[in-house]
Structure 1
Amino acid sequence: MADEMIKRAQRFVNSVYGSRIGMTVEEDGQTGWNTMYALTRALQYELGITSLSNSFGPTTLSTLNSKYPQLYETTIPSEDFCRIIQSAMYCKGYDGGDIDGVYSIRVKQAMLKLKSDMGVDASNSVLIPKVFKGLLNMDAYVTVNSGSEAIRSVQRWLNGRYVNRGDFFVIPCDGHNSRDVSKSMLFAVQYELGMADGVANGVFGPGTQSGLKSHTVSSGSTGTWVSLFSAGMILNQRSVAFSSSFGSSLADAVRAFQSFAKLPVTGSGDFQTWASLLASYGDQSRKGAACDGVTKITPARAAALKTEGITYVGRYLTNPSTTSLPEKAIQPGELQTIADNGLRCYPIYQTFGRDAAGFNYAAGRAAGYAAVNAAVDHGFKNGTRIFFAVDFDALDHEVTSNVLPHFKGIEDSMADTGNAYLVGVYGPRNVCTRVGEAGHSTASFVSDMSSGFSGNYGYPLPADWAYDQIVTRTVGSGDGKIEIDNNIASGRDIGQNSFNKPRGTVPDVRFDGGFLNALHDDLGRFMRSIGYADDGGTGADAKLFTHTQCFETIMSFDTLITQLSNRYSMRKALIQTNAYWEMRHYDLIDQAVDHQVASYHLNGVGAVKDSSTGIAQISGRVGIIAWNHCINKGFASGTVLDPNKDSDIWTMWQKVNKDNAFSVQTVSLLHLWGVDGKPGGDNPPDGETILRSMRLDYTEKEIFELVRRYQGWGKLPNGERVEEHATKRMTLYQIFEKYNGIVRNP
């Protein structure tokens, strides 16, 4: 709802400063960052700063300190300067008077209230520079969104005690922990350790750690150190009172926290407990019972891990790269080595998803199926928990928009497979907590080593944590030397120490009809989940073929597809996926364009000489180029045609339009052409890279590339990006591969 006084504030900054500060704001009566930015720029203009910025940074603060260290009715330099203050007060939710340039009694009373809410000196209504900085941001100084009063009491205390220190700025008092609040705690500890301004830096470094080792607090302790320790407990969402006295209730809560975090249970605020409260990784000298790594576990390395006290080893199900970390994925025979040496393995699934764009529902669906297929390949038994990685600093809104839908996709794929495996999540604390609370995972593997991640800074250890990754170290020597990420284990997940026989990389075989119904249902279930009705749908997006028609058409060519697969060392699923997907998308528009092509060649009417046609949606020109390439390479035999000659385009177009078997064969040739970078095709500006020669053990990245290249690059006619379609088709690939894998490995 619009606030009239905020609207007046916006009108003021636009009319007086708009042309001076290089921006205006929407006069909508709602507080937002743009309004705060404009007021910040207006203040900088009044201070004589020539290089204006949205940031209330060091220059603004130092200039304000030097010119107007105390602002009140007799020191405010002008009416417009006062109006900036009054406007900011309204945007912050306080009474700014009539925005008339007068620092009136109303404004002074509101300033007293603001400073009291902040926890800073409220004995007077003087506006000091750091309070002004806090006035020109979007922080709240009252509890919001069910904020904790206990956390707010800590925030106000920190502001009041340290606001006059050099690098400490007013923090929000909204009842929520955050990056700024957690960093302010580190500044507070450093100040109490005697670090000077400019030395204290808010980093949990060697000096801070050394100082804390001599500041253990325990039952009977009193003073500021107890206040800081109880504040740390509160910010980690432990139910204690904010107090300067260490009583029995605090000791009990400390024991509970230590037990939860797998620390020595002493009931005292010792160094390890301080460290776990102040930094996500805690005391990095701890030795955990778990590790993860990208190096094969050999007998010598297994012995080194055992000597180090490690029992649980995290290893990757797949390696999307063909050029780096050659031992990242579980290697042949490795799981048996792990078991033979008394270790247990927990599997991790990770691809290239290093930003939010790689996470969505369709990608999650593909990830779920891919992980299951890989787990079965390696021999992991039912009931194993697979940890799916979110290995980037996902902001909270990205967790909502991308990560949660992604894990819903994983969960749905797991359900399709009968929930043979459990879903775990690897990532920062906030990611793990939110995925778990949404019901999409059963345990967390926490990337606490990345202490600077926004999703770790200010968030407590997830309640369902299984592994806590705290430091990278090298253990062992000689043949047993290995670099690992050392992890604390909670016991919630214990990995596996016995495995089924791994599935080998063997050629595909004819499909077993006993699995037809299951494959049909899995494919249909997935397509429905992304908006494709079994009957083809109705309205503008209606398709001409039903799911069953597409499925039966593709599977009717199983003998041919098997032969092509064996001939080219190409997984059947590659051919099945694209043929099914393209036939599933054939609609009235495609049909109308096909009629136009026929009319052009048969009747000389119109100008449409080519189109993507037939069950695999292949154009005459593309078909010619792919066939020519494969004929020249010795992959196929036939007549070389001219892709620029109308009669040759018409010859190829008729074949892919009418001869379904020919279209299926052409799909395989399009993939072989794609492997070589699609020479002669409509490639992106830098060209398509050349992949490894076609083989049965292609990585997911290589499969994705071929699936994507089948449709080209850039945008499709409907505006969707080819990559989006490829992500969805990857799930189809994994579903086909699931059943093909079962059949070829009975």
Structure 2
Amino acid sequence: MRNAMVLRAQRFVNSVYGSRIGTTVEETGEADWATMYALTRALQYELGITALSDNFGPTTLSTLTAKYPVLDADTVPSPDFCRVIQSGLYCKGYDGGDLDGTYGARTRAAVTRLKADMGVEQALPGDGLTPKVFKALLTMDSYVLGGSGTRQVREVQRWLNGRYFGRQDFFAVACDGRVSRDTARALVFGVQYELGMADGTANGNFGPGTQSALKSHPVRQGDTGVYVRLFSAGMVVNRRPVALTDSFDSYLAAAVRAFQSFVALPATGDGDFATFASLLASYGDQSRQGRACDTIAKVTPERAATLKAAGITYVGRYLTNPSATSLPEKAVQPGELTTIARQGLRCFPIYQTVNNDASDFDYVAGRTAGYAAVNAALDHGFRKGTRIFFAVDFDAIDAEITANVLPHFKGIKEAMADSGHPYEIGVYGSRNVCARTGAAGFSTASFVAGMSPGFDGNAGRPLPGDWAYDQFVIRTLGSGDGQLEVDVDAASGRDTGQGAFDRPRPAVPDVAFDARQVPALRADLSRYMRSIGRPDLGGIGSDARLYTNAQAVGTIQDQDGLITELSHTYSMRKALIQTAVYWALRDYSLADQARDQQVADHHLTGSGSVKDSPTGIGEISATDAIQAWNHCIGWGYTTGDHRDPGKDADLWSVWQRLNKDNAFSVRTAALIHLWGVRGRPGGQLPPGDRVTTPRSMRLDLAEFEITELLRRYRAWDPDVGAQTHQSLAVYQIFEKYNSIARHA
């Protein structure tokens, strides 16, 4: 909300300091970080610091402490210095005076009120502004109860500030009643200080030294004192229905039992180390046993025996492997699920390709992931009703969850619906990712990545209510042939994986398409294309597309015999050819038709300005076709005469065949894919895109290899990245129906 005094503060910092500090702020009348940064720089300027920074760091703090250990009516050095203080107070929501440069009654009252709101009024009595309070002033932290905050949490925050503010490395936390990373870290600082850690040693991290010392301080019903207060603060921070207290009474014991049951600890009601640890860090007590694990190692009979001996019941295994060369056992291996079932273990499947950056997530990628996971789960023999956990393997902040992760899971959910809801959807990720995905209705259980307490999505966040597995430590189990490394997971019982499996679907050659499946194929493709903004006959003007979904599918079906033959000849999945042709047909527009006419005019009358262009049902240029044929003739994949793409006669001859002969276009599409696995360039991609050369053509190409072949097929397209991204789901849809046919 626009505030007249905040606006005056912004105008003040711009007019007095703008040229001095090298920045100005937008004069909106609304407090923001930009204004706080500018005020920080103004303070640094007044202190004589030459290397100005947005950060109120150690140099600013030490310089301010040395020069002005207390700022008040007697020590404020200048009116403008005082106006920096007054501006900070107004941006914080306090009446700092009239920006008159005088540390008067209103300013003194505001500073006194600020310290009381922070909880430091007893530690720092009076109306003077000390350096660490000044640092707190120039942040966007609030010290009054916020709309989504609770009084119980605010009481914890004020108590932490009041008790530990004088310690060297402890800085004020917000007192808005909302649990944050800073609140969680401040609580650990408090534990460390009470354990006797010195300034410079205490760091707010729940590390081995802190854990070892805390084991000597369990609390239980009847106890009193600061450790009970710290324990109850941990309960409050974890959103348990208790109040901050230094007396461990029966009410707190009952709440502790409920918490212990929730996090799968023995429900004793005591504040033992394991319970205390679960309150302080997302990984909790890493020495505890877990009933579940996940691993990138194949579960052999010997390893299964190791897992059983370690008390493991549930084993997480991956549906696919994003790499063809590294981690060879990451995906479920042939015969492995049978071993798991025979040994009395149960398996829960995980789907992960790369998924370690926000850019890997969006609605289209979610649709692709949903289709791909269903296909892979069916291939391995996971029965219907199994829950697949889709991985979000990075520390997604709130904005990324909103913009990337939730649309991604919306795509997964819609792909699962298109597939007839064969599997449940789970989510793997930080506590916040899991909680928000579940709250949005896109998942039914969470697999929590709890081993990273510093994740923004874990720190200060409670364990999601729908958690099924909670990953907390890496261990190497067993020895000899039975040795394997696992991530150990707590299990709530909400998900129990599967203990029996259908016969797996091996990587056998494709067969002729079952015509009875065509209506379902058309429907799936149509729904997907509409969902990404490509309905039948979409586009405006010259971008208007000419082939409907039904026409594209019909054209591909007309060539099914040839596509099946090419698949057998080259050990190539039919879906690679089908996807290339389908996408080309659905993308063909009036502009493409006009360009084709220009090519014909060039060669027939000399009037056209275009010598070559992508054409025919595969949208292949004569130049690319000639190079693909030459390449494949040279490698013995096919026979024919070498042609020269530099000769008009050869270009025109091949272009006409592509334009008019659908079978020639389909055959050429297959040869382009063969060219792709042997180094056909793939066009220009944005920096940072992951490109890996595929292996030779085979029926079990990894997902990244399929992606790369589709990208190389469209190397001529200026939007190759976006086109490939969208076409991957088309591949998975075709693969779904090809799988039905070959395993009928």
TM-score (norm 1): 0.96
Which residue does the alignment assign to 2:114?
Answer: 114
Q: Which piece of structure 1 moves more, 640-649 or 500-509?
A: 640-649
Pairing of 1:137-216 with structure 2 (within 5 A): 137-216=139-218
- Which of 714, 724, 727 is matched with 2:725 structurally? 727
Distance 1:394 1:6 in 2: 32
Structure 2: unaligned runs, 5 residues or longer: none
Q: Give 3-state SS (helix, strand or coil) of 2:323's partner.
A: coil
Q: State the match for 1:703 in structure 2.
A: 706
Instruction: Measure, in 1, the Cα distance between the counterparts of 2:255 and 2:721.
Output: 50
Contact 1:536 1:545 (8 Å CA) reproduced: no
Q: Which residue identity does 2:21 align to in structure 1? A: I
- CA drift of 1:295 comes to 0.7
Residue 75 of structure 2: aligned partner: 75
Residue equivalent to 1:385: 387
Shift of the 560–736 alpha-carbon distance from structure 1 to 2, 3 Å rule, reads same
| C-alpha distance in 1 between matches for 2:397 and 2:250 | 38
Shift of 1:606: 4.6
Query: For residues 174 and 688 of structure 1, what CA distance do their matches in structure 2 show?
Result: 46
User: Are the aligned partners of 1:311 and 1:343 in contact in 2 as well (CA < 8 Å)?
Assistant: yes
Displacement after TM superposition at 1:659 (Å): 1.8
Could you tell me whether the CA contact under 8 Å between 1:215 and 1:225 is conserved in 2? yes
CA contact (8 A) 1:519 1:739 kept: yes
1:101 corresponds in structure 2 to 101
Secondary structure, aligned partner of 1:202: coil
Could you tell me how far 1:649 is from its partner in structure 2? Answer: 2.3
* Alpha carbons 1:152, 1:173 under 8 Å: kept: yes
Q: Please give the secondary structure, in 2, of the residue aligned with 1:380.
A: coil
Match of residue 46 from structure 1: 46
Contact kept, 8 Å, 1:536 with 1:547, in 2: the verdict is: no
Aligned runs of 1:92-491 on 2, under 5 Å?
92-121=92-121, 123-491=125-493
1:34-67 deviation line (CA, Å, top 9, x unaligned): 2111111111111111111111111111111111
**Displacement after TM superposition at 1:689 (Å):** 5.4
Separation of aligned partners in 1, 2:105 and 2:741: 83
Counterpart CA distance in 2 for 1:12 and 1:612 is 62
Distance 1:8 1:223 in 2: 48
State the 1:407 CA deviation.
Answer: 0.7
CA contact (8 A) 2:683 2:712 kept: no
Rate the CA distance shift 1:510–1:88 in 2: closer, same or farther, 3 A.
same
The equivalent of 2:33 in structure 1 is 33
Give a deviation string over 1:532-574, Cα, whole Å, max 9, x none.
2234365675321111111111121111111111111110001
TM-score (norm. length: structure 2): 0.97
- Rounded to whole Å, the distance in 2 between the matches of 1:688 and 1:632 is 26
Worse overlay, 202-211 or 492-501: 202-211
| Cα distance in 2, alignment partners of residues 543 and 683 from structure 1 | 25
> Which residue number in structure 2 is paired with residue 630 of structure 1?
632
- Greater CA deviation, 262-271 or 688-697? 688-697
Contact 1:676 1:689 in 2 (8 A): no
- The AA in structure 1 aligned to 2:734 is F
Distance 2:529 2:334 in 1: 35
In the alignment, residue 651 of structure 1 is paired with which amino acid?
S
**Greater displacement, 108-117 / 446-455:** 108-117
- CA-CA distance at 1:142 after TM superposition: 1.8
Q: Secondary structure at the match of 2:569?
A: helix
Provide closer, same or farther for how the CA distance between residues 318 and 685 of structure 1 changes in structure 2, counting only shifts above 3 A. Answer: closer
- What are the Cα deviations for residues 72-96 of structure 1, in whole angstroms up to 9, with x where unaligned? 1211111111111111222222222
When residues 230 and 314 of structure 1 are mapped into structure 2, their CA distance, relative to the original with a 3 A threshold, is same
Structure 1 residues 459 and 103: CA distance shift in structure 2, 3 A: same
2:683–2:720 CA contact under 8 A, matched in 1: no
How much has 1:683 moved relative to structure 2? 6.4
What one-letter code is carried by the residue in structure 2 that aligns with 1:245? S
Residue pair 1:677, 1:688 contacting (<8 A) in 2 also: no
Mapped partners of 2:425, 2:538: distance in 1: 32
* Counterpart-to-counterpart distance in 2, 1:690 and 1:337: 34
Secondary structure, counterpart of 2:486 in structure 1:
strand
2:381 and 2:502 in contact (8 A); partners too: yes
Give per-residue Cα distances to partners, 1:179-208, cap 9 Å, x unaligned: 111110000001111111111111112221
Number of residue pairs matched by the alignment: 740
Question: Residue 644 and residue 101 in structure 1: after superposition, are their counterparts in 2 closer, same or farther (change >3 A)?
Answer: farther
- Aligned letter for 1:645? K
The residue type equivalent to 1:68 in the other structure is: Y
Distance 1:689 1:308, change over 3 A: closer
> Residue type matched to 1:667 in 2?
A
CA deviation vs aligned residue, 1:604-654 (integer Å, no higher than 9, x gap): 225322222222221222222222211222222223222233332222222
